[in-house]
């Protein structure tokens, strides 16, 4: 079964560090900065392992200490509870890895 699409504004109410992505698809985005590449990549490794267990994967890019994350559910063509759950995990991992924003 496909997950239900959520209203973006509603989803963002509980995710203050996220915003609507400038993207053709409904998606959430957050940019994070870390102390250096090592911290950024450590964060990504941690998120990657959990994302794979969730079978829900971020679209992201990394330049040195910066990681840009975009979350959307391809199967649903929008944002679902899976994106919100992954965003919450990312927020926790970011805080624990010393993200600056």
- The dihedral through the CA atoms of 20, 23, 28, 30 has a sign that is negative
DSSP one-letter code for 43: H
Residue 54 CA: distances (Å) to CA of 34, 57, 83, 86: 24, 8, 10, 8
Nearer to ligand H2B, 48 or 65 (CB): 48
**What is the nearest approach in angstroms of ligand H2B to the Cβ of residue 73?**
5
Does 52 bind ligand H2B (CB under 6 A)? Our answer is no
Interface pick for ligand H2B out of 25, 74, 88, 100 (rule CB under 6 A): 74
Segment lying near ligand H2B (by CB under 6 A), choices 5-13, 22-30, 54-62, 87-95: 54-62
State residue 90 phi and psi, 5-degree precision.
-60, -40
Number of residues that bind ligand H2B (CB under 6 A): 6
């Amino acid at each position: 079964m496909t997950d239900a699409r959520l209203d973006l504004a509603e989803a963002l109410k509980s995710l203050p560090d996220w915003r609507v992505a400038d993207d053709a698809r409904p998606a959430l985005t957050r940019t994070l900065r870390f102390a250096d590449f090592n911290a950024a990549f450590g964060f990504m490794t941690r998120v990657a392992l959990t994302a794979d267990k969730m079978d829900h994967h971020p679209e992201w890019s990394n330049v040195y200490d910066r990681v840009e994350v975009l979350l959307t559910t391809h199967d649903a063509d929008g944002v679902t509870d899976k994106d919100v759950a992954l965003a919450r995990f990312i927020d926790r991992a970011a805080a624990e890895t010393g993200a600056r924003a």
